[in-house]
């Protein structure tokens, strides 16, 4: 409870970031309660109701198949959060394993970090596309494809942080107490990585939204019948002049989510990264 | 108190450093021995190899760049250099404990001190968590931490430097080591805290019968703590003697200079005598005696070859062609 209050107190005097936090909470609630909130079935096709502009009955209008866009955007939040979490988990798990081992075993690190360098040289979307081509389309595969992009950056950050932690006297002290390598990494290095990586996780979550939406837009992400924001934007291409709301609402949802996550991420970084302690952004 | 079984015996220990300037010896042919319950003060300036000696005993040298290139390290009669990595790891923290110079950074900030003591014990002993916690509190009490039971729940940042060093000592002692290596344990602390900690170490030595290798650059600490003193200069042992003898009849010019640079209460002096120059780095040491470029007594002979350790008196050895024999008080270095 105190941890929650402590977290909330960070947002005092930072109303902009506070709004971001509220937006994220709203999105999470929308995702969790989608079946209750959504007025219509997001997949129900109704040829009679095609391309109706926003009105009192259909808040966000309807799409080319007559599906209620508001319901689809609400269900889209589920996909957004699901892929976001998946990408963060993949990026953190593999990034942390690669980064800590590389930092702890310098010879291994020399090899692994050069591989990471090469992967970072490949444009992010191209790397994701390569994964999709190999693995095929689908929810898990797009998580893996986008996760792969952020494994490299996470490994990089973890490598640097671990190098610093391993040089600390307390690591030397536990080594002198007879602790083995695994115990040191698990019990002493990892807990000290949690705060900086939490900040990293928010930013990965935000950018994963953009990357997965891009994959969906290219038709290489989720199957087209899944109501994800990226898919919705992709479908509107042909109707964009006749029905601009089809682009506005799902596109707006993506922008709002990414922007809010970044705002919250900034606050977390101010709090958890000692380098920014002195110049806390207050707006 | 002092028996004749050496807990630790170094024989011609040589530690090599590999760098882009080549391979050189940071510790060269160092021989020492510490008996059960004995305190050996290992003295020298920064960079003389005393900390590397400690790390070599612990098996914590930064391999492959720094490693033991020759000699033997015998602990309780067993040559440590013939043991596997895992066997050495099991000795660390169990039979050989170590405390470090910086108490402020030697504890992991994310765990309570009690948890860290518990871990130190459970690394080596199959005891339950609750049993380990009781032993941890008892050990904190033993090292003089008031209200140990509640202090055990504190995080390191909630303790002062002196308290943290006490915790470090408690951690090193959890498994009851036969040898404690203390690498400048009081350097970062203020004088009154230092005195308390040295008293504590002596009391623990008495109670637990462990040997202590006290690494320091402070002869005051040595005078208070040690039974025997070994003085190192530029990687070599230059003089070793029982503590009283060393302070009374320092034979090596370097030892005399060290004593001369120390403030004394019984002799009135306007200023302390500094030793001219600095320790030459390992890759650029003079030929022969490595102290000759700073030595007031240096002769051409000193450049020829390294003097061997000469036996002067019982337990008193010196590595110098021209050792002093007069008492320190009359000598002017």
CA pair distance A65, A132, nearest whole angstrom = 28
Which tokens in the block code for residue A160?
């640097």
Residue A10 lies in a domain: no
Record: contact A178-B92, CB cut-off 8 A: yes
Does residue B93 sit at the A interface (CB-CB below 8 Å)? Answer: yes
To the nearest whole angstrom, how far is the Cα of A238 from the nearest Cα of chain B?
A: 56
pLDDT in tens, A176-230: 998 889 999 999 999 989 888 988 999 999 899 899 989 988 888 888 888 889 8
Average pLDDT over residues A139-162: 93
b/e map B192-219, b = 16+ CB within 10 Å: ebbebbbebbeebbeeeebbbbbbbbbb
**What's the pLDDT at B329?**
54
Record: contact A177-B93, CB cut-off 8 A: yes
Range of weakest confidence among A159-163, B11-15, B270-274? B270-274
Residue A7 lies in a domain: no
DSSP state for residue A136 in the 8-state scheme = -
CATH 3.40.50.300 fits B6-233, yes or no: yes
Q: What percent of chain A has pLDDT over 70?
A: 96
Q: What CATH number is associated with residue A20?
A: 1.10.3720.10
CA B6-B12-B13 angle, 5° bins: 90
Residue A135 lies in a domain: yes
Does residue B66 sit at the A interface (CB-CB below 8 Å)? Answer: no
**What's the pLDDT at B331?**
43
Extract the runs of DSSP E, i.e. beta strands, from A114-220: none
Residues of the domain holding A134: 15-32+68-276
Residue A119 lies in a domain: yes
Q: Which residues of B touch A192 (CB under 8 A)?
A: 108-110
Record: contact B119-A180, CB cut-off 8 A: no
pLDDT in tens, B158-199: 999 889 999 999 999 999 999 999 998 888 788 888 888 899
Q: Which residues of B touch A177 (CB under 8 A)?
A: 92-93, 97, 119-120, 123, 171-172
To the nearest whole angstrom, how far is the Cα of B197 from the nearest Cα of chain A?
A: 19
Which of A227-236, B4-13, B117-126, B321-330 shows the highest mean pLDDT?
B117-126
pLDDT in tens, A82-136: 999 999 999 999 999 999 999 999 899 999 999 999 999 999 889 999 999 999 8
If phi > 0 it is left, if psi is from -120 to 50 it is alpha, else beta; for residue A151 that is alpha
Record: contact A176-B102, CB cut-off 8 A: no
Q: Are A77 and A31 in contact (CB under 8 A)?
A: yes
Does residue B119 sit at the A interface (CB-CB below 8 Å)? Answer: yes
- A282 pLDDT above the threshold of 80: no
pLDDT in tens, A237-261: 888 888 888 888 999 999 999 999 9
Record: contact B90-A178, CB cut-off 8 A: yes
Record: contact A170-B110, CB cut-off 8 A: no
- B228 pLDDT above the threshold of 50: yes
**What's the pLDDT at B333?**
40
**What's the pLDDT at B2?**
46
Residue A58 lies in a domain: no
Residue A218 lies in a domain: yes
Does residue B204 sit at the A interface (CB-CB below 8 Å)? Answer: no
pLDDT in tens, B243-281: 999 999 999 999 988 888 777 666 666 677 777 777 777
In the numeric block, the tokens 């995702």 are attached to A31
Residue A4 lies in a domain: no
Non-local CB neighbours of A58 within 8 Å, separated by 6+ positions: A49, A52, A68, A69, A70
Three state DSSP letters for chain B = CCCCCEEEEEEEEEEEEEECCEEEEEEEEEEEEEECCCEEEEECCCCCCHHHHHHHHHCCCCCCCEEEEEEEEEECCEEHHHCCHHHHHHHECCCEEEECCCCCCCCCCCCCHHHHHHHHHHCCCCCCHHHHHHHHHHHHHHCCCCCHHHHCCCCHHHCCHHHHHHHHHHHHHCCCCCEEEEECCCCCCCHHHHHHHHHHHHHHHHHHCCEEEEEECCHHHHHHHCCEEEEEECCEEEEEEEHHHHHHCCCCHHHHHHHHCCCCCCCCCCCCCCCCCCCCCHHHCCCCCCCCCCCCCCCHHHHHCCCCCEEEECCEEECCCCCCCCCCCCCCC
- B327 pLDDT above the threshold of 80: no
ipTM at complex level: 0.79
Comparing alpha-carbon positions, the chain A residue that sits nearest to B125 is A178
Record: contact B102-A174, CB cut-off 8 A: no
Average pLDDT over residues B313-322: 90
Is pTM beyond 0.90? Reply is no
Tell me how many domains chain A contains: 1
């Amino acid at each position: 409870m105190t941890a929650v209050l402590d977290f909330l107190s960070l947002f005092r005097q930072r109303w902009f970031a506070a709004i971001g936090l509220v937006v994220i909470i709203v999105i999470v609630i929308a995702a969790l309660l989608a079946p209750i909130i959504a007025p219509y079935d997001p997949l129900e096709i109704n040829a009679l109701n095609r391309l109706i502009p926003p009105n009192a009955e259909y808040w966000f209008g309807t799409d080319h198949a007559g599906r209620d866009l508001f319901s689809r955007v609400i269900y889209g939040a589920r996909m957004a959060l699901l892929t976001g979490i998946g990408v963060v988990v993949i990026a953190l798990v593999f990034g942390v394993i690669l980064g800590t081992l590389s930092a702890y075993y310098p010879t291994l690190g020399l090899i692994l970090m050069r591989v990471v360098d090469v992967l970072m040289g490949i444009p992010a979307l191209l790397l994701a596309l390569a994964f999709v081509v190999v693995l095929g389309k689908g929810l898990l595969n797009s998580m893996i494809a986008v996760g792969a992009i952020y494994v490299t950056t996470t490994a990089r950050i973890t490598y640097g942080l671990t190098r610093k932690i391993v040089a600390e006297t307390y690591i030397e002290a536990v080594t002198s107490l007879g602790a083995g390598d695994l115990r040191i990494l698990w019990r002493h290095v990892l807990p000290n990585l949690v705060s900086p990586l939490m900040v990293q996780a928010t930013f990965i979550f935000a950018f994963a939204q953009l990357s997965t939406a891009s994959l969906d837009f290219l038709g290489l992400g989720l199957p087209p019948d899944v109501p994800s924001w990226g898919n919705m934007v992709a479908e509107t291409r042909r109707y964009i002049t006749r029905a601009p709301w089809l682009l506005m609402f799902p596109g707006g949802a993506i922008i709002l989510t990414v922007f809010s996550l970044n705002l919250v991420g900034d606050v977390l970084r101010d709090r958890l990264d000692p380098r920014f302690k002195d110049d806390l952004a207050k707006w | 108190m002092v028996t004749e079984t050496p807990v630790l015996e170094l024989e011609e220990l040589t530690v090599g450093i590999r760098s882009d300037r080549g391979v050189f010896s940071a510790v060269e042919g160092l021989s020492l021995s510490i008996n059960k319950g004995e305190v050996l003060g290992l003295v020298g300036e920064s960079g003389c190899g005393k900390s590397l000696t400690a790390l070599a005993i612990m098996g914590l040298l930064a391999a492959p760049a720094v490693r033991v290139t020759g000699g033997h390290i015998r602990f309780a009669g067993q040559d440590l250099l013939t043991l596997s990595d895992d066997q050495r790891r099991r000795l660390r923290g169990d039979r050989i404990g170590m405390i470090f110079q910086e108490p402020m950074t030697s504890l992991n900030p994310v765990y309570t001190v009690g948890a860290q003591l518990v871990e130190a014990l459970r690394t080596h002993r199959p005891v339950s968590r609750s049993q380990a916690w009781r032993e941890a509190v008892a050990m904190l009490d033993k090292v003089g931490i008031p209200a140990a039971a509640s202090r055990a729940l504190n995080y390191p940042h909630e303790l002062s430097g002196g308290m943290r060093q006490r915790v470090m000592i408690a951690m090193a002692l959890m498994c009851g080591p036969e040898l404690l290596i203390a690498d400048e344990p009081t350097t970062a602390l203020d004088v009154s805290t230092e005195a308390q900690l040295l008293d504590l170490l002596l009391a623990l030595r008495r109670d637990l019968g462990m040997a202590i290798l006290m690494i320091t650059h402070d002869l005051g600490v040595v005078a208070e703590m040690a039974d025997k003193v070994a003085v190192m200069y530029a990687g070599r042992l230059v003089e070793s003697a029982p503590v009283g003898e060393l302070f009374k009849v320092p034979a090596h010019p370097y030892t005399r200079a060290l004593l001369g640079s120390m403030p004394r209460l019984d002799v009135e002096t306007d200023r302390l005598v500094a030793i001219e120059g600095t320790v030459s780095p390992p890759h650029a040491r003079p030929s022969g005696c490595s102290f000759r470029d700073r030595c007031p007594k240096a002769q051409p002979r000193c450049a020829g070859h390294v003097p061997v350790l000469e036996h002067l008196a019982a337990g008193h050895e010196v590595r110098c062609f021209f050792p002093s024999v007069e008492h320190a008080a009359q000598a002017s270095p």
